[in-house]
Structure 1
Amino acid sequence: MKQPFLGKIAIAAILLSAAALNVNAQKIQEQELKINVADISNPVKHLVNLEPITFKYDVSKFNYLKLPSGNQYGFKTNNLKTEFPEMVKETGKVYSAGKNNSKIAKYDEAQTQSLIPVLVAAIKEQQAQIDKLKKELAQLKQSAK
């Protein structure tokens, strides 16, 4: 009977701790956190060289890594590393290898969420090219009259 009461006290303590942390939280401005800020150069040139793939992890062979099942979308890490080396990180997962024994499996993993700013930069670059072509086309039509 006391266990539900203790659980409520624990939840209340956690909430109070979180509130206390929030009150004492330091707000750091973005310009303080980020240094060497620069535009992304030639995004389309780099994206054109990527080869998007679909794949499935071998979850039966590597079940101890607890990889997601089903179809995945991504890139071969070697291909991504050629264009965006900072988007490929070595990941290590600890897994049980018997009684009182564990091992670490290491493999390269693509940090594809980092591609979002590159994609936005590429769209902006292509839109500028489209706008320029539209303007040139309008001028050609005007001069043909």
Structure 2
Amino acid sequence: MKTLLFKGSVMGLLLSAATLTVSAQKIKETDLKVNVDKISNSTQQLKNLEPVTFKYDVNKYKHLKLPAGEQYGFLVSNVEANFPAMVHETSKMYPAGKNNSKTAKYSEVQTADLIPVLVAAIKEQQAEIELLKKEMQLLKEKSK
């Protein structure tokens, strides 16, 4: 009798799970993103950044499992002065003995956030190039 009851419970659970439907909410981008503004003066802001190469101290901070070898990036202090929203605090938990863990917190640069700024800077530079081309063409025509 217990086996039959167990099988019946499992079948009921499976049938309930099969009839469960998932509905996803579709949110418009205009509802999701507010205070949208164009990125301006990006070329000047990027000129203030100092790209660096570095290595993590993987021996001292083994517990954080940081990537070994040469890394490319920016120092947090440099980016924070120019793009404070690109610096985020990261937390990593690691074991610290039997049934115990600790959390290490440090700031890091979200370099993917630089992509829109780079695109804006390219657009600014391209507009300047086009303007210079027009000026040069006008000077050529005047000198004839």
- The alignment's TM-score, normalised by the length of structure 2, stands at 0.84
Write the deviation string for residues 104-123 of structure 1: whole angstroms up to 9, x where unpaired: 11111101100000000000
Runs of 4+ in 1 over 4 A off after TM superposition: none
Report the Cα distance in structure 2 between the residues aligned to 1:77 and 1:86, rounded to whole angstroms.
Answer: 11
Q: How many positions carry a matched residue from both structures?
A: 128
**In 2: Cα distance, 1:98 partner to 1:109 partner:** 27
Q: Which residue number corresponds to residue 8 of structure 1? A: none
Q: Deviations 1:86-140 (Å, cap 9, x if unpaired)?
A: 1001111111111112111111110110000000000000000000000000000
| Unpaired stretches in structure 2, ≥5 consecutive residues | 1-13
RMSD, matched Cα: 1.7
Tell me what 1:111 maps to: 110
1:26 counterpart residue number: 25
- Note the C-alpha offset of 1:143: 0.3
Partner of 1:90: 89
Superposition map of 1:14-53 within 5 A: 20-21=21-22, 24-53=23-52
**3-state SS of the aligned residue for 1:123?**
helix
Which ranges in structure 1 are unaligned for 5 or more consecutive residues? Answer: 1-12
**Shift, 1:26, TM fit:** 1.4
Task: Quote how far apart the aligned CAs of 1:73 are.
Answer: 0.9
Rg larger for? 2
1:55-107 C-alpha deviation (Å, 9 max, x unpaired):
11111111100111122111000000000001001111111111112111111
Identical columns (%):
60
